[in-house]
Structure 1
């Protein structure tokens, strides 16, 4: 285990500890100068309007994307778990979005939703309305949401499918003997049995959505625009560290983000009680 532990220590544990140390200092990453300022980095963060913009955008993103991608992935997995036969070509096509890099996917969606893109022109032809998505502060984040849902559903669908196939058939047979309908079987047998899988999917979805960076960076060219409408926590951390040259505030914000992710996932675990299923 020594090589793996050494790699984890060098590339994960030591950077985390060093970041925890830096968040109490004003750090100039170019000169390497450090000045102890205590909790002043947190005060500056909470007083910065861009923090609250990134907080609002990220929470909205998580609240919209995670439930939809989880629900659709479960529905598709349940459909694939039926006795209906699907060709390998169909299943392969469904999984292509997950195999595509997020950068390439972002460029494709930028082409679809730009002011002269395919989707914009289609809406104009059908409804006579010229919508601007990427340059509209109210809709720019929605493009990233749709893209993330589209690209993550196939992966979570496979995870759910593996969980569904592990449920003992005897449980469904017992439910049938008790006169349970298909909906009742799904509610009282399927949902409780896949609670650990659901917790995993929700956790991965929450962590991934809170850490979203590359799509927002590419779509806004690193600015988080228009009008900070695509500014996320991770993008704001990047701006603080490499645009404002303030690694102290960047690490402080990373600590805030990590705390939020921990509290949300802990709450999800308590609500689902995934660790109490089957004993």
Structure 2
């Protein structure tokens, strides 16, 4: 009897893996294999054009990474971007969701309007904002209408990165707003009724009831924000035409990886090492966020 049961169990396991094979194949070919190949490249000097060649360099690429001034600038720009954009887009998403959840008139209309930036292509949004920031663009024209001088928003190194930050906060907050909105609608009304009986006003209910109830969702939103902002590439590439300018002010780590991988010959291995370092930074930032939010105590 046990032998028959064992065969039946193995048959079930075989069926399960058979159904999983397409997903396993996709994961292996398009995720696991590229990761392993990138790790392999990071320890080599690679020449892919004109005949592939792999020259083993050990940890030389990682040592060079520590001494690369442009890599330090790119990392600092990326960290500034993350530190400002992630809290701002999270707070804005929460405020927008709480506003829509308050039952105001025209709620469905505002949901559509708020969500529109998320439906628009990132490249198109970037081009629109470049026109707005242009010296002959909308912002300078509005400034001229009230008697103020125009400004070179894209050409000033002190303003170029904040300009990208503003655009990304505006375009990404609506996506996280929908996540917050779904979570807000799952909070039981009895919790708010109990708070009201205890004499809590609107702000007290929001701070002591709504925010704690949304803590797991906030943790998810922040983690997704960290991953997305550390990988900033397309907006910076379009703004600077691939250079990371002006004066390296919009140079990010992913843009620098692209430059080393596809614009400089023989530096594909170094680019892979830089990409691997960025992955470790993202992993560390995510782990720190989980620890500080004490997410493990919520389940």
TM-score range, shorter chain: over 0.9
2:224 is the alignment partner of 1:216 = no
**In structure 2, what is the equivalent of residue 254 of structure 1?**
275
**In structure 1, what is the equivalent of residue 219 of structure 2?**
199
Greater mean alpha carbon deviation, residues 102-111 or residues 267-276: 267-276
CA contact (8 A) 1:55 1:233 kept: yes
**In structure 1, what is the equivalent of residue 3 of structure 2?**
none
Distance, in Å, in 2 between the alignment partners of 1:46 and 1:124 is 46
- 1:39-50 matches, within 5 Å, as 39-50=59-70
Distance, in Å, in 1 between the alignment partners of 2:58 and 2:135 is 47
Distance, in Å, in 1 between the alignment partners of 2:174 and 2:76 is 27
2:128 is the alignment partner of 1:108 = yes
**In structure 1, what is the equivalent of residue 41 of structure 2?**
22
Offset of 1:127 from its aligned partner? 4.9
CA contact (8 A) 1:196 1:275 kept: no
**In structure 1, what is the equivalent of residue 6 of structure 2?**
none
**In structure 1, what is the equivalent of residue 251 of structure 2?**
231
Which of the numbers 170, 173, 198 marks the counterpart of 1:150? 170
Distance, in Å, in 1 between the alignment partners of 2:252 and 2:145 is 33
2:48 is the alignment partner of 1:11 = no
2:293 is the alignment partner of 1:275 = no
**In structure 2, what is the equivalent of residue 179 of structure 1?**
199
Offset of 1:21 from its aligned partner? 1.2
Question: For the structure 1 residues 90 and 190, does the alpha-carbon distance in structure 2 shift closer, same or farther, using more than 3 Å as the test?
Answer: closer
Which of the numbers 64, 69, 73 marks the counterpart of 2:84? 64
- What TM-score, normalized to structure 2? 0.90
CA contact (8 A) 1:124 1:131 kept: no
Moved over 4 A (4+): none
CA contact (8 A) 1:220 1:230 kept: yes
Whose Rg is larger? 2
Q: Secondary structure at the match of 1:138?
A: helix
CA contact (8 A) 1:70 1:153 kept: yes
CA deviations 1:100-140 (Å, max 9, x no partner) are: 00000010011100121111232244352321111111111
CA deviations 1:58-93 (Å, max 9, x no partner) are: 011111111111001101101111122325333222
Offset of 1:25 from its aligned partner? 0.7
CA contact (8 A) 2:100 2:110 kept: no
Q: Secondary structure at the match of 1:180?
A: coil
Offset of 1:176 from its aligned partner? 1.9
- What TM-score, normalized to structure 1? 0.96
CA contact (8 A) 2:100 2:107 kept: no
Distance, in Å, in 1 between the alignment partners of 2:141 and 2:72 is 34
> Unmatched 5+ residue regions in structure 2?
1-19
Distance, in Å, in 2 between the alignment partners of 1:105 and 1:149 is 12
CA deviations 1:165-207 (Å, max 9, x no partner) are: 1111111122222222222222221111111110111111111
**In structure 1, what is the equivalent of residue 285 of structure 2?**
264
Distance, in Å, in 2 between the alignment partners of 1:197 and 1:260 is 22
CA deviations 1:19-70 (Å, max 9, x no partner) are: 1111111111213111111111012122111101101110111111111110
Q: Secondary structure at the match of 2:45?
A: strand
Aligned residues: 278
